[in-house]
């Protein structure tokens, strides 16, 4: 597609449930990033992929969070046993490559997760 696509745009779930958030990056972009944005804050890094592999997952807050990108395109962020503190907007971004420090990120519109 023309831009980064994220689904669902809104997700309301109950505490303890499992959630999957999907990101479809810009075609040809090898780098894909997940960020979390809480109200009034800037995007907080979670994980990034270069191709199929997670190149840096140091931002994942705990082992309830996991992300995959099996074919080097679409990525899924998975959250197990959701907690109210997980409520936030989850942003996906892609970049042509992660190697250069001059590249820019292209963001999707985000998936707003609300855990009741």
Partner 1 sequence: GNSVTQMEGPVTLSEEAFLTINCTYTATGYPSLFWYVQYPGEGLQLLLKATKADDKGSNKGFEATYRKETTSFHLEKGSVQVSDSAVYFCALNTGNQFYFGTGTSLTVIP
Q: Quick one: which of 21, 32, 43, 49 contacts partner 1 (CB under 8 A)?
A: 43
Cα atoms found within 13 Å of the Cα of residue 108, Cβ hemisphere only: 29
Of 86, 88, 87, 91, the closest CA to residue 109 belongs to 91
Among 13, 16, 10, 38, residue whose Cα is nearest residue 82 = 16
Site for partner 1 in 50-89 (CB under 8 A): 55-56
| Least distance between partner 1 and beta carbon 2 (Å) | 13
Q: Pick one of 42, 62, 70, 71: the residue that binds partner 1 (CB under 8 A).
A: 42
Segment contacting partner 1 by CB under 8 A, of 18-26, 61-69, 80-88, 108-116: 108-116
């Amino acid at each position: 597609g023309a831009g980064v696509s994220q689904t669902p745009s809104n997700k309301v779930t109950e505490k303890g449930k499992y959630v999957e958030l999907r990101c479809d990056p810009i075609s040809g972009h090898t780098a894909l990033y997940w960020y979390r944005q809480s109200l009034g804050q800037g995007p907080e890094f979670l994980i990034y992929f270069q191709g199929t592999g997670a190149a840096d997952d140091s931002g994942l807050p705990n082992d309830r969070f996991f992300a995959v990108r099996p074919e080097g395109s679409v990525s899924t962020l998975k959250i197990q046993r959701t907690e109210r503190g997980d409520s936030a907007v989850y942003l996906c971004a892609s970049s042509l490559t992660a190697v250069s420090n001059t590249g820019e990120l292209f963001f999707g519109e985000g998936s707003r997760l609300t855990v009741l």
